[in-house]
Amino acid sequence: MLRSLHIDPKKCTGCLQCELACSFEHFGAFNPAKSVIRVFNFHQEGRFVPYTCTQCAEAWCLHACPVDAIRANAETGAKEVIDALCVGCKVCTIACPFGTVNYSQDTGKVMKCDLCGGDPQCVQACPTAAITYVDADWTGLERMRAWAARANAGAGESAQA
């Protein structure tokens, strides 16, 4: 069973514990700038929204990589960057429609969420359960895809008229 991150923005307090846990897990430092999960601050509305790679089924980053340095982990479903293969060309950062693939100046490579090998530390660190790790089917991903397919079919019909 594949699992995915589920984010409930209503529960986020903006504490940034997820960013700190992510940076510590991957770089051994409490440095939000090195995190692949970010908390967006909607200043005008007084709310916070964590966001990171959604591990898209289509995975444009994976398909755009000219050296095949992004691969799907069969066990977790995460689209992972293979550092030994990454040449730091940043094509994947352009291909990602959500802006969740980042370039690291420190390493000269790209970085993105790898679900911490199936034990996401952002989930462990979140004190309000704004980030949870759930059955991928529970997130409604398939319903979203079905809705998108219907919307695209309707757009094609109106374009032909």
Please give the Cα distance from 86 to 43 (Å, whole number).
36
Please give the Cα distance from 79 to 114 (Å, whole number).
6
Identify whether the C-beta of residue 22 lies closer than 8 Å to the C-beta of residue 97: no
Contacts of 96 (CB under 8 A, 6+ apart): 53, 60, 61, 112
Q: Which two tokens stand for residue 161?
A: 């008229």
* Domains along the sequence of the chain with CATH: 3-160 (3.30.70.20)
Identify whether the C-beta of residue 102 lies closer than 8 Å to the C-beta of residue 110: yes
Which of 27, 2, 30 is CA-nearest to residue 125? Answer: 30
- The answer to whether the pTM exceeds 0.85 is no
Burial class (CB in 10 A: 0-12, 13-18, 19+), 18: buried
Q: pLDDT of the chain along its 161 residues, tens only?
A: 788 999 999 999 999 999 999 999 999 999 999 999 999 999 898 899 999 999 988 899 999 999 999 999 999 999 999 999 999 999 999 999 999 999 999 899 999 999 999 999 999 999 999 999 998 766 555 655 566 667 667 655 544 54
How many of the other CB atoms lie within 10 Å of CB of 104? 18
Please give the Cα distance from 14 to 38 (Å, whole number).
10
